[in-house]
């Protein structure tokens, strides 16, 4: 009953109206407008647009739009940013099906069967089942967040400094284990992120660290500067060197409502994908990409005829699309209840909260219940908007796909530079963003994934604070993190982290040892 009342309160926050001066400085043209609903709609549409345009992605987009949120209230800002995230998961399926060019990494699997359905004249059915599966998964994910929020928050409130530090260590280890590419490179990026988080003035003794005597660095690196450079500028630079290849489906998209046979075949895949995505979304480092690949593999394994996959199987669209949207929703659970970002997008959300003066973690529910439950309720509203609005706009997205990306990217860079400058009105911020753009570009070229670095950067300051508090309480005894009598939660988390790290690193070490013996 308490959860039901909280959700009603959340919907009231989403639909509340506020007075807005439509013509500031030129009269008193004030109207009451449902700003949170409008921001939810804007976020969902921008997210869909970004999902449709391959090569940008939600991480870069949210990083680029962070400066805009400075003028918004915290609830509205987070509702819009969340809408961009799950909107991008939805929009990525459109290009995956129509163009065989996934707009978002989690839509790579959707392209395998979705585009084959489009070639057979069934693009409408593929888009329809993707939309319906996404809505069902989003609804389930929202309910799951509401159910788990209160118990997880109560557990988090029992955490001490040592427990929090160990939980963050586990989050970083999960990021390493589940990162794509080399494990050792992921570890290196974690350490780089932690190192960058220490730049600035020490909060304990007031000493400056790694500022090289340069005053603008005394407050540390701006989160927006790092995120926009490493993800926004770097991604654009990388995409400019790629050749554009589009296998656009030319025939008109019709019959967006799947048949009864389609529903009968796709329904179990939607249910399994929703459940799998909901679980994987909670895990640090997992998220929508892992959920989509896992759902596709599961459907192929359970199929009576696995050979039909890759040739236009509707289950190959329904399962992954449900999984990636469910994971996008449930990835908010560790963020809102524990203050731990499970992936790079959630790390940027933490950055947005910190900018607004909000400390992510269990205290949000108690101190700012309107923000907490309003954000959760907005997710269901946003998913409903995506279904109602985007299916009629398929023709618009198809026309947009014909615009060369080389015409879009310069405009995006200009708006990014303006956004960065507007934060502190300092040209140095723009220069620093460009520098991190080059750094991010070379990291990507050398096979380093920037996401673990961003997660480590966000957690770095909090980890340092909790580490110092724990060491202060234990009078400098490092074994406080492994003490089963005083800190059993911390001890279990640290042991799990060590075991996971060893299991991740061992294959790499064994491979190198084998190469030495072969030589």
Say how far apart CA 297 and CA 314 lie, in whole Å.
Answer: 14
Residue 81 backbone dihedrals phi, psi, to 5 degrees: -65, -40
Contact 217, 201 (CB under 8 A): no
What is residue 33's DSSP assignment? Answer: E
- Highest mean pLDDT, choosing among 4-13, 22-31, 145-154: 4-13
The pLDDT score that the predictor gives to residue 515 is 46
Nearest Cα to 48, choosing from 383, 292, 404?
383
Say how far apart CA 146 and CA 373 lie, in whole Å.
Answer: 8
What are the tens digits of pLDDT across the range 344-372? 777 778 777 877 778 777 777 777 888 88
Poorest-pLDDT segment among 191-195, 336-340, 470-474:
336-340
pTM: 0.73
Q: Indicate whether 516 pLDDT > 50.
A: no
The pLDDT score that the predictor gives to residue 287 is 63
Q: Average pLDDT of the chain?
A: 78
Start-end of H helices in 283-368: 288-302, 315-330, 332-338, 344-355, 363-367
User: How far does Cα 128 stand from its chain's mean position?
Assistant: 24
Q: Indicate whether 514 pLDDT > 70.
A: no
173: left (phi over 0), alpha (psi -120 to 50) or beta: alpha
Nearest Cα to 459, choosing from 178, 168, 217?
168
Binning pLDDT at 50, 70 and 90, where does residue 513 land?
Answer: very low
Which residues sit opposite 208 in a β-bridge? 201
Q: From residue 234, how far is each of 56, 226, 406 by CA, in Å? A: 10, 11, 15
| 467 vs 149, residue with greater confidence | 467
**Three-state DSSP state, 434:** helix
Dihedral sign computed on CA atoms, order 44, 49, 52, 54:
negative
Start-end of H helices in 66-180: 74-98, 108-119, 123-157, 161-178
Say how far apart CA 148 and CA 130 lie, in whole Å.
Answer: 26
The pLDDT score that the predictor gives to residue 517 is 38
Nearest Cα to 503, choosing from 251, 173, 216, 211?
173
Which residues, 6+ apart, have CB-to-CB distance to 281 below 8 Å?
141, 287, 288, 291, 326, 327, 328, 329, 330, 331, 333, 342
Q: How is the chain split into domains, by residue range?
A: 2-518
User: Which residue pairs from 471-477 have beta carbons closer than 8 angstroms and sit at least 24 positions apart in sequence?
Assistant: 473/161, 473/162, 474/162
Binning pLDDT at 50, 70 and 90, where does residue 334 land?
Answer: confident
Binning pLDDT at 50, 70 and 90, where does residue 519 land?
Answer: very low
Contact 173, 165 (CB under 8 A): no
CB atoms within 10 A of CB 330: 27
Contact 225, 491 (CB under 8 A): no
The pLDDT score that the predictor gives to residue 27 is 55
Angle, helix 315-330 to helix 260-282, in steps of 10 degrees: 30
**For the chain, the helix, strand and coil percentages under 3-state DSSP, each to the nearest 5:** 75, 0, 25
Q: Indicate whether 456 pLDDT > 70.
A: yes
Mean predicted confidence (pLDDT) in 107-132: 81
Binning pLDDT at 50, 70 and 90, where does residue 21 land?
Answer: low
Which residues, 6+ apart, have CB-to-CB distance to 375 below 8 Å?
10, 75, 78, 79, 82, 332, 336
The β-bridge relationship of strands 30-33 and 200-201 is: unpaired
Nearest Cα to 170, choosing from 340, 306, 329?
340
Binning pLDDT at 50, 70 and 90, where does residue 161 land?
Answer: confident
Which residues, 6+ apart, have CB-to-CB distance to 257 below 8 Å?
124, 128
User: How far does Cα 69 stand from its chain's mean position?
Assistant: 17
Say how far apart CA 284 and CA 350 lie, in whole Å.
Answer: 14
Mean predicted confidence (pLDDT) in 245-264: 66
| 405 vs 296, residue with greater confidence | 296
Residue 388 backbone dihedrals phi, psi, to 5 degrees: -70, -40
| 403 vs 136, residue with greater confidence | 136
């Amino acid at each position: 009953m308490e959860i039901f009342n909280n959700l009603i309160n959340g919907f009231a926050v989403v639909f509340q109206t506020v007075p807005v001066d439509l013509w500031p400085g030129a009269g008193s043209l004030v109207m009451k407008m449902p700003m949170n609903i409008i921001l939810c709609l804007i976020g969902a549409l921008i997210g869909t647009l970004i999902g449709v345009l391959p090569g940008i992605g939600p991480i870069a987009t949210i990083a680029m739009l962070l400066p805009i949120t400075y003028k918004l209230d915290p609830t509205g800002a987070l509702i819009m940013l969340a809408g961009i995230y799950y909107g991008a998961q939805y929009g990525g399926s459109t290009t995956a099906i129509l163009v065989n060019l996934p707009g978002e990494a989690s839509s790579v699997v959707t392209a395998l069967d979705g585009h084959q359905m489009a070639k057979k004249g069934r693009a409408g059915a593929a888009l329809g089942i993707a939309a319906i599966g996404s809505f069902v998964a989003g609804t389930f994910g929202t309910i799951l967040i509401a159910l788990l929020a209160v118990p997880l928050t109560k557990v988090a409130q029992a955490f001490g400094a040592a427990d929090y530090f160990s939980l963050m260590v586990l989050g970083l280890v999960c990021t390493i284990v589940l990162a794509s590419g080399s494990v050792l490179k992921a570890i290196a990026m974690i350490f780089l992120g932690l190192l960058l988080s220490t730049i600035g003035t020490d909060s304990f003794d007031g000493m400056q660290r790694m500022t090289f005597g340069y005053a603008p660095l005394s407050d540390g690196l701006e989160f927006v500067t790092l995120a926009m450079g490493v993800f926004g500028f770097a991604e654009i630079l990388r995409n400019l060197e790629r050749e554009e290849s589009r296998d656009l489906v030319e025939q008109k998209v019709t019959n967006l409502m799947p048949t009864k046979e389609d529903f009968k075949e796709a329904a179990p895949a939607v249910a399994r994908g929703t459940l799998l995505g909901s679980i994987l979304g909670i895990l640090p480092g997992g998220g929508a990409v892992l959920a989509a690949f896992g759902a596709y593999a599961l459907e192929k394994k359970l199929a009576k005829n696995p050979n039909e996959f890759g040739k236009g199987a509707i289950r190959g669209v329904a399962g992954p699309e449900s999984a990636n949207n469910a994971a996008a929703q449930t990835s908010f659970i560790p963020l809102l209840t524990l203050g731990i970002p499970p992936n790079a997008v959630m790390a940027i959300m933490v950055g947005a909260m910190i900018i607004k003066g909000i400390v992510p973690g269990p205290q949000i529910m108690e101190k700012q219940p309107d923000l907490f439950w309003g954000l959760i309720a907005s997710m269901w509203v946003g998913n409903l908007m995506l279904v109602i609005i985007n299916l009629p706009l398929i023709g618009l997205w198809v026309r947009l796909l014909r615009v060369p990306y080389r015409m879009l990217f310069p405009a995006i860079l200009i708006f990014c530079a303006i956004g960065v400058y507007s934060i502190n009105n300092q040209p140095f911020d723009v220069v620093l963003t460009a520098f991190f753009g080059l750094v991010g570009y070379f990291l990507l070229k050398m096979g380093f994934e920037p996401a673990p670095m961003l997660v480590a950067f966000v957690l770095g300051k909090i980890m340092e604070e909790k580490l110092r508090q724990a060491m202060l309480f234990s009078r400098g005894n490092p074994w406080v993190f492994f003490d089963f009598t005083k800190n059993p939660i911390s001890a279990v988390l640290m042991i799990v982290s060590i075991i996971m790290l060893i299991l991740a690193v061992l294959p790499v070490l064994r491979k190198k040892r084998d190469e030495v013996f072969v030589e």
